[in-house]
């Protein structure tokens, strides 16, 4: 389980997730790893904007990447995935649950 985060670290991660698109990406990745084109089809924003949001999430340690042939596979960082609930993020100071929320379309 992730250790308790300092208040400033928690606030920084919450700022990253305060954008609706950046909150949508981890929600989609909790179901499993995806390529940019798969995420783009689900979230429906310009690919360059999605790439920007993915970089912000990666820099915050919430998303990790793996080279997959010619593409890059994005997945939720294991240390940020909740050990308590399947559809939840563990920020160290709190958990954000996506359980029971309607899918964004």
What pLDDT does 58 receive? 92
Name which CATH class applies to 7-97: mainly alpha
- Mean pLDDT in each 10-residue stretch from start to end of the chain (105 residues)? 63 89 88 92 93 93 89 84 70 80 56
pTM above 0.85, yes or no: no
Q: How far apart are CA 91 and CA 105, in angstroms?
A: 26
23's tokens: 């909150």
Neighbours of 89 (CB within 10 A): 23
What sign for the dihedral angle of Cα 103, 19, 49, 56?
negative
* Residue 79 pLDDT: 74
pLDDT at residue 61, as a whole number: 87
């Amino acid at each position: 389980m992730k250790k308790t985060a300092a208040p400033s670290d928690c606030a920084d991660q919450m700022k990253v997730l305060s954008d609706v698109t950046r909150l949508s990406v981890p929600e989609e990745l909790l179901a499993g790893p995806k390529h940019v084109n798969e995420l783009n089809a689900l979230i429906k924003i310009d690919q360059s904007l999605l790439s920007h949001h993915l970089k912000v999430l990666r820099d915050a340690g919430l998303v990790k990447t793996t080279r997959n042939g010619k593409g890059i596979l994005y997945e939720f960082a294991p240390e940020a995935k909740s050990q308590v609930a399947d559809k939840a993020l563990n920020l160290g100071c709190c958990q954000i649950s996506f359980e029971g929320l309607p899918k964004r379309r």
